[in-house]
Amino acid sequence: MEQFYLFVLMSIFFVILPGPDIAIITKNTITAGKVGGLKTLLGCCCALLIHTSAAVLGLSAIILKSALLFSVIKYVGAIYLLYLGIKTLWSLKKKKEVVNVEMNTKNKFASTSCLKTGFLTNILNPKVALLFLTFFPQFVNPGSNTLLPFLIMGITYTVMTALWSILYVYLINGISAFMKKPKTQNIIEGITGAILIGFGIRLFLEKPHN
């Protein structure tokens, strides 16, 4: 594998670039606390490892070459992001004041679904597969066996994503006193909902790559 350190440097920009994962991690950290954010991150990382396995086995290439498979995954992912965005915005209209005990119970319940939300948000995004199949090959020798290099790069990318997201979760949680003020939380959830809907529409309009 060539230029591993260049791969790491280039990956930093992809990792810190805001996307659906960061949007949902932000929302879940605010609404379900640090545990909720970390569970969301864990779900995202599990999905990244599956994308890595798919790239290693060549499944991602098959999906990207098949307009039908690409479209199915794309539309399912887009609908899911739209659902999350609309649900987030709709919840703002239904919020009511509750006592701390009720809020803690709600947050505890919410955190149990954070892992699933993070996983589905990532696994249903075919652009992750596209990233792996177009970005990773630039750092391997043409015609060489890509199994081990893809595995190394996929794991490295997942670890970098995890480290950055952990810092991000702790940052959000560290200023939770400000972030959890009703007005601040409403604004952030509103922005997050709009962002998720935007990503959903963008993914919905994404054309298959041949």
Q: What is the pLDDT of residue 158?
A: 92
Find the domain containing 78 and state its range: 36-204
Residue 14 lies in a domain: no
Residue 23 lies in a domain: no
Q: What is the pLDDT of residue 156?
A: 93
Residue 12 lies in a domain: no
**Residue 15: both structure tokens together:** 């990792």
Residue 25 lies in a domain: no
Residue 27 lies in a domain: no
CA distance readout (Å), 19 to 32, 49, 108, 140, 187 = 20, 18, 25, 27, 18
CA distance readout (Å), 148 to 7, 41, 78, 128, 137 = 15, 25, 32, 19, 12
How many domains would you assign to the chain?
1
Q: What is the pLDDT of residue 176?
A: 64
Is 52:154 a contact under the CB 8 Å cutoff?
Answer: yes
Residue 189 lies in a domain: yes
Determine the Cα–Cα distance for residues 3 and 10; give it in Å rounded to an integer: 11
CA angle (29, 34, 39) in 5-degree steps: 80
Q: What is the pLDDT of residue 102?
A: 38
Determine the Cα–Cα distance for residues 24 and 196; give it in Å rounded to an integer: 8
Residue 99 lies in a domain: yes
Q: Is the dihedral of CA 184, 185, 190, 196 positive or negative?
A: positive
Determine the Cα–Cα distance for residues 60 and 83; give it in Å rounded to an integer: 25
**Residue 162: both structure tokens together:** 């995890």
Q: What is the pLDDT of residue 177?
A: 62
Residue 148: how many other CB atoms lie within 10 Å: 12
Determine the Cα–Cα distance for residues 37 and 172; give it in Å rounded to an integer: 9
Spell out the SS3 assignment of 5-43: HHHHHHHHHHHHCCCHHHHHHHHHHHHHHHHHHHHHHHH
Residue 11 lies in a domain: no
Residue-level pLDDT, tens digit, the chain, 210 residues? 557 888 888 888 888 877 888 888 888 888 888 898 999 999 999 999 998 888 888 877 776 677 777 777 778 777 877 877 787 677 766 554 443 433 444 454 455 588 999 999 888 887 787 778 777 777 777 666 667 888 889 999 999 999 999 998 988 887 766 666 667 667 766 776 777 677 677 767 766 555
